[in-house]
Structure 1
Amino acid sequence: MNGPEATAIVVTYNSSAHIIACLTALRQADAAVQVVDNASCDNTADLVAAHFPEVALRINTANVGFAAAVNQALAGVRTDVVILVNPDCVLPAATAHALLCTVRAQPHVGVAGPRIVGPDGRTAISAHPFETWFSVLASRFGGSLLPTKLRWLLCGGQRRRVYDACLEPGHPTAVDWVSGACLAARTSLLRQLGGLDEGYFMFYEDEELCLQAWRQGAHVVYVPAVTATHVGGASTSDDPSRVWPHLYSSMLRFFARHRRRSYPLVRAIVLLRAVIGIGCAFARLPAHRTTALARVRAWSRVLRLAATARIPLPEGQQSCAS
């Protein structure tokens, strides 16, 4: 071949358990690979350097977040398509090729994502409609707070149709957004957008990317006939007090930017969920002290975050309020 088919960008953070499998698959797919390590405390960077000397490796001295790390690598991309791959995701060569063909063969397609399955082969939901206050309400009060069937009924017809499409292999279909665990994007589109939005430290940068792609007239396509295997959560801390504040901060930022009229309601939902979470965690203290205390800390940080959130809208930002 004359050169790499595409450039894969992998952002790592304490990813030593999965990075070998991830990079092995990407090299088999004939992708140029750029790894940006966000100050891992394990031997992730050493493993990459030792086993994949041909991979471009950048080691940050601090964790700058996912979006900022991707943008660091994007500056050195020389191919027309970029594949974002989580370090705990294995992307088969056939899937990579299908994503590239989808983007290259259809000039109107800017982003394409495969069907994502877990290590057990079960399909994960990786294509979604853009979030609304109602979808936040249903998801944040899910799990033990609402039965699964009731949440399924509450999620709305459009969301159910998209989720049904995730479960069965079929033809490529346009969706609002696809998971950033594995997606292919046109390099020119990413550069036109200025890269990923670094205002999101982690979470929601994929939804933001796809929303901005649609606004530029580029379609987002879900390709359910091909799969990538994703473990999930391998690059996040086990401590919810570190992860959950990032999740809810990104959620509030997304709604402040794009769902302005819904933002106060979403903020109220987050506040209520945090209060309920603290109460449930205290109730578990006698039997599960360590886990319960971690949840108390996590929800307390989320509560403070939502109570003090003042996220200004950028000048000229159009909102698609709902």
Structure 2
Amino acid sequence: MAGFDIGIVIVSYNVRHFLEQCLHSIGKSSTSGLNIEVWVVDNASVDGTVQYIADRFPDVNIISNTENVGFSRANNQAINRMQSKYVLLLNPDTVLEETTLQLCYDFMEAKPQTGAVGVRMIDGSGKFLPESKRKIPDIWNSFCKLSYLSDLFPSSKVFSGYNLGYLPEDQTAQVEVLCGAFMFIRAEALKMTGLLDEQFFMYGEDIDLSYRILKAGYEIWYYPQSSIIHYKGESTKKSSLSYVKTFYGAMHIYVNKHYGKGKGRIFAWIINAAITMRAMVSAAGRVLAFLIFPMIDAVLIWFSLLAMKSFWAEWYFKDTSYYDEGNIHSILPIYAGIWVLSLWIGGHYDKTSSWRHSFTSFLVGTVFILMGYALLPESMRSSRAIILLGAIAGMVVVSLTSLLRAWLRNDHNNSSGNQSIAVVGSRQNAEKLALIVHKLKPESEIYNIAPGSSTGDVWFTNL
């Protein structure tokens, strides 16, 4: 007979501060006399997780591994020692609502044919995570996911089958696959299906377990009446090539296990094509991200030089066509390139760049251009005035693009002190999110906004 109502297992690897928040949210859960046991399995973290958690949470059972044994095996270590009616697989980078455990327990009690239930997950910014509800992967829905068709048509039954994009995120429904970040499982179902398959080191084990629960005759439900925060959801990692390799390697194991060699070979081809495609996209994205602002600066500085050339020709020489003959049009792009190269060498495009370093770098570039100008033959010289005017205009351009770059990187939000946070949405969902945010940032001012509320309602604000 089960000694506990709910047994929670959390596998940790170098995320002690996330884990601490997760355990605090469990401790603050509102449960009506439910007996809960919590197990943390640490996969050889080097951040002092074991001692840190042992000192602060003496009631938590800790298993300390001497090596990283993977997600599946680590979960099994704890499950084998549990004596609970229900088992919750929970990621350390999650935060529960106060009612999450009670709601899931009541749901399972009311539906004895349910083998597992999952909840609505959002990331740290409040965005819904589509992996909260999924379908068993097949050739078509996997192809749509890999080829981004599911992203292009997120609500289509044809193209968005993998993440059930056509199913509203607030609708309770039977699904086929839950996310391993939060799987509330009936212990009896685990006895019938067996524990997590340890072939899956990371990723894919939740799909495999969900499939086996369904084959055992149980139902799987998505229950969005409760929401949790999952900071490092799939959407925050999927651009990483290492993630792509690990995830689709796990998918390869899954398909070979459940679909046979024929479909397994087709799936393997799709996986390899996906890894190659994602690698190319990732590499192109990194190159573009590295070059985009230097290229913008070079083009804008070049245009500024052209403007200064026209201005100086008309104002000083009273002849707008003064510079039309000669090679000035081939010299100006070189000036722009030298300035941008000087800025790059001086670290202007680094995240930690300062205005002083940027100004110094631009000044060095200007001096270098003037020195080169002095060595040019008379036929190739344009005007020192254009260089100096271009330097002034170029500094203005670089200052403006620096402000744009800082804004895009959200550097303007990195100030310390209290923050004002607006929670916008339907009253029910916004109220839940506001409670979670208040736990994480108790010093912040939280403004709740519900569209359509009256001016006399506490949910009304004119922000």
**Under a length normalisation based on structure 2, what TM-score does the superposition of the two structures give?**
0.56
1:167 match: 169
**Which of 95, 99, 103 is 2:100 aligned to?**
95
Is residue 166–residue 224 contact of structure 1 (8 Å, CA) maintained in 2? no
**Which of 148, 163, 167 is 2:151 aligned to?**
148
The reply to whether residue 250 of structure 1 matches residue 254 of structure 2 is no
The reply to whether residue 263 of structure 1 matches residue 269 of structure 2 is no
Return the offset for 1:212: 0.4
> Alignment partner of 2:143: what SS?
helix
The reply to whether residue 59 of structure 1 matches residue 64 of structure 2 is yes
Distance change >3 Å, CA 41–CA 266, structure 1 → 2: same
Following the alignment from structure 1 to structure 2, what is the Cα–Cα distance between the partners of residues 287 and 159? 30
- Further displaced range: 95-104 or 81-90: 95-104
Return the offset for 1:273: 2.4
**Which of 134, 137, 141 is 2:140 aligned to?**
134
- Further displaced range: 188-197 or 275-284: 275-284
> Alignment partner of 1:274: what SS?
helix
2:448 match: none
- Further displaced range: 6-15 or 41-50: 41-50
Return the offset for 1:27: 2.2
The reply to whether residue 31 of structure 1 matches residue 36 of structure 2 is yes
Distance change >3 Å, CA 158–CA 274, structure 1 → 2: closer
Following the alignment from structure 2 to structure 1, what is the Cα–Cα distance between the partners of residues 274 and 161? 25
Is residue 127–residue 166 contact of structure 1 (8 Å, CA) maintained in 2? no
> Alignment partner of 2:228: what SS?
strand
What is the one-letter code of the residue matched to 1:41? V
1:219 match: 219
Following the alignment from structure 2 to structure 1, what is the Cα–Cα distance between the partners of residues 110 and 288? 57
Written as runs of structure 1 = structure 2, the 5 A alignment for 1:173-212 is 173-212=173-212
Return the offset for 1:101: 1.3
> Alignment partner of 1:123: what SS?
coil
Is residue 71–residue 196 contact of structure 1 (8 Å, CA) maintained in 2? yes
Following the alignment from structure 1 to structure 2, what is the Cα–Cα distance between the partners of residues 51 and 180? 26
1:272 match: 273
What is the one-letter code of the residue matched to 1:9? V
Is residue 160–residue 166 contact of structure 2 (8 Å, CA) maintained in 1? no
1:121-144 per-position Cα deviation (integer Å, ceiling 9, x unaligned): 2221111111111222222222xx
Is residue 165–residue 224 contact of structure 1 (8 Å, CA) maintained in 2? no
Following the alignment from structure 1 to structure 2, what is the Cα–Cα distance between the partners of residues 246 and 216? 28
2:32 match: none
Return the offset for 1:77: 0.9
What is the one-letter code of the residue matched to 1:271? N
List alignment gaps of at least 5 residues for structure 2.
30-34, 291-463
Following the alignment from structure 1 to structure 2, what is the Cα–Cα distance between the partners of residues 276 and 245? 12
Is residue 88–residue 232 contact of structure 1 (8 Å, CA) maintained in 2? yes
1:17 match: 17
Following the alignment from structure 2 to structure 1, what is the Cα–Cα distance between the partners of residues 63 and 92? 15
Is residue 134–residue 155 contact of structure 1 (8 Å, CA) maintained in 2? no
- Further displaced range: 58-67 or 269-278: 269-278
Written as runs of structure 1 = structure 2, the 5 A alignment for 1:233-248 is 240=240, 242-248=242-248
Return the offset for 1:9: 0.5
Return the offset for 1:259: 2.6
Distance change >3 Å, CA 282–CA 19, structure 1 → 2: closer
What is the one-letter code of the residue matched to 1:148? D
Q: Which has the higher contact order (CA 8 A, sep 6+)?
A: 1
List alignment gaps of at least 5 residues for structure 1.
290-322
Return the offset for 1:94: 0.8
> Alignment partner of 2:197: what SS?
coil
Following the alignment from structure 1 to structure 2, what is the Cα–Cα distance between the partners of residues 264 and 102? 40
Is residue 139–residue 151 contact of structure 1 (8 Å, CA) maintained in 2? no
Is residue 9–residue 89 contact of structure 2 (8 Å, CA) maintained in 1? yes
What is the one-letter code of the residue matched to 1:262? K
Return the offset for 1:166: 4.5
Which one has a bigger Cα radius of gyration?
2
Distance change >3 Å, CA 245–CA 78, structure 1 → 2: same
What is the one-letter code of the residue matched to 1:254? Y
1:43 match: 48
Following the alignment from structure 2 to structure 1, what is the Cα–Cα distance between the partners of residues 244 and 255? 17
What is the one-letter code of the residue matched to 2:137? E
1:313 match: none
1:72-118 per-position Cα deviation (integer Å, ceiling 9, x unaligned): 00011111001111000112231111111121222111101111112
Following the alignment from structure 1 to structure 2, what is the Cα–Cα distance between the partners of residues 183 and 282? 35
Distance change >3 Å, CA 229–CA 163, structure 1 → 2: same
The reply to whether residue 121 of structure 1 matches residue 123 of structure 2 is no
Is residue 115–residue 166 contact of structure 1 (8 Å, CA) maintained in 2? no
Following the alignment from structure 1 to structure 2, what is the Cα–Cα distance between the partners of residues 148 and 286? 23
Following the alignment from structure 1 to structure 2, what is the Cα–Cα distance between the partners of residues 273 and 177? 22
Return the offset for 1:242: 4.9
Return the offset for 1:157: 7.0
Is residue 175–residue 220 contact of structure 1 (8 Å, CA) maintained in 2? yes
Following the alignment from structure 1 to structure 2, what is the Cα–Cα distance between the partners of residues 233 and 177? 16
Percent same amino acid at aligned positions? Answer: 25
Following the alignment from structure 1 to structure 2, what is the Cα–Cα distance between the partners of residues 93 and 74? 24
Following the alignment from structure 1 to structure 2, what is the Cα–Cα distance between the partners of residues 280 and 36? 36
Following the alignment from structure 2 to structure 1, what is the Cα–Cα distance between the partners of residues 233 and 160? 29
